[in-house]
Amino acid sequence: MRAFNAVSSRFHAARPRHTTRLRSARARGRSASPPASDRPTIVGEKNERPPARSSQGDRFMSSDAIVLLKDDHKRIKKLFRDFQAAGENATKTKGDLVTKIIEALTVHTYLENEVMYPEVRTLLPDLEEDVLESYEEHHVADVLCTELFAMQPSDERFDAKTTVLIENVTHHIDEEENDWFPKVRAGLSRKTLQDIGAQMADMRDKAPRSPAQPSALKKTVDAIIR
């Protein structure tokens, strides 16, 4: 019996400390796990953290020009829906939404006019007519944005002008996504679209946010004389 007690004492003394902590935690009704550093690595065990990817790979995965432009389209159409759902007397809400719509469209059309359209026009000459039509549609949107920028939400024609802007831009977006983007993707390699997208991403921070900024005014004038 003494020999058994001596062996038992040595066994308990040699047990790892975290095992004692685990038993104490269970006694208090909490679940506990040993520290990650103490756990053995099990072959095939799922790692909770995703594997790291190179910064270059991340950039290329997220810089496809068409994907970036479609993301813009989603945000813009969401603002359109919010405006349409705001209600007849929601003057302040509509004014705030139109401010956001103008900013989003000013940035978006700037990136397309300065990067996407010139690149596609050069690389895919067969799509030149489509590009020229897109310039004209942007010009209409730019003019409407400039006029709305100078108006008050309480002005009689504010809602009507915003509705016309929404209709024109929605038509433009649908045409691009259903007709033009598929042609561009078929004609350009993934690498080329990634390079164009990277250019747009680099220019986004410098893009004008208001029709009154010089670069936005230049864009509107360029659309007339191209």
User: Taking all residues of the chain, what is their mean pLDDT, rounded to a whole number?
Assistant: 79
Q: Averaged over 114-143, what is the pLDDT?
A: 96
Return the HEC string of 7-42.
HHHHHHHHCCHHHHHHHHHHHCCCCCCCCHHHCCCC
pLDDT, residue 153, reads 96
pLDDT, residue 207, reads 93
Q: How many CB atoms lie within 10 A of CB 176?
A: 21
Sorting pLDDT into bands at 50, 70 and 90, what band is 213?
confident
DSSP string, 165-191: HHHHHHHHHHHIIIIIHHHHHHHS-HH
Q: Where are the domains of the chain?
A: 2-32, 59-225
Whether the CB-CB separation of 32 and 22 falls below 8 Å is answered with: yes
Structure tokens at 131: 């590009």
Q: Is the pLDDT of residue 49 over 80?
A: no
How distant, in Å, are the alpha carbons of 2, 100, 114 from that of 118?
A: 92, 26, 7
Please state, in angstroms and rounded to a whole number, the distance separating the CA atoms of residues 20 and 16. Answer: 7
Sorting pLDDT into bands at 50, 70 and 90, what band is 210?
confident
Whether the CB-CB separation of 142 and 219 falls below 8 Å is answered with: yes
Q: Averaged over 6-32, what is the pLDDT?
A: 46
CB neighbour list of residue 192: distance below 8 Å, 6 or more residues apart = 123
pLDDT one-digit tens code per residue, 93-122: 999 999 999 999 999 999 999 999 999 999
**Among candidate residues 108, 134, 138, 141, the one with its CA nearest the CA of residue 209:** 108
